[in-house]
Amino acid sequence: SSHDARAMNRLPTGKKRKLTVLIGDHELGANEVMLSCLARINKDGDEIVVVSTGKPERLLEFARNQKFDLCILVLNNILFQVIPWKARRQYTLDLVVELKQACLAPIIAFAGVSEDILLPKDAERAGVNHFFWMPFSATDFMEAVKKCVLS
């Protein structure tokens, strides 16, 4: 049928996809490493659009108003008003739950507070798909990204 022919005609054009990534992190250093990893995965030259903020309310605002393919959070680099990690930890996990509901995108989380040994499990329970301690392995991160966006 002509409908099938039209669908087939669309495939080989090599149309670039657009990969939209929401990053929750107020330090640009880690972002740079993550972005270079994303660029290395991006062999097809898809356009990568990154929205980044360290503010929880902005993260939620973006998640509710835009479609994202992937969400990357540096859990201990999100700017809550409270300073002690114990209190921030709960706010951060609550934020993960809210983000997951708001944007439905897979979430890759990082954390640098490695003495918090229960964090990976708690983060996964809140909705994180892949968890990494910092410093992280670029190879493992790229694998996780592929699983999230190519599956």
Tokens of 91: 């706010």
pLDDT above 50 for 77:
yes
Mean pLDDT of the chain: 86
By 3-state DSSP, what share of the chain in percent is helix, strand and coil, each rounded to 5? 50, 20, 30
Q: What's the pTM value of the predicted model, to 2 decimals? A: 0.86
Angle between helices 119-126 and 85-103 (to 10 degrees): 30
In 3D, which of 97, 124, 98 has the Cα closest to residue 111?
Answer: 124
C-alpha 42/C-alpha 44 separation (Å) is 6
| Lowest-confidence pick of 38-47, 70-79, 102-111 | 38-47
pLDDT digits (tens, 9 = 90+) for 107-136: 999 998 778 999 999 999 999 999 999 989
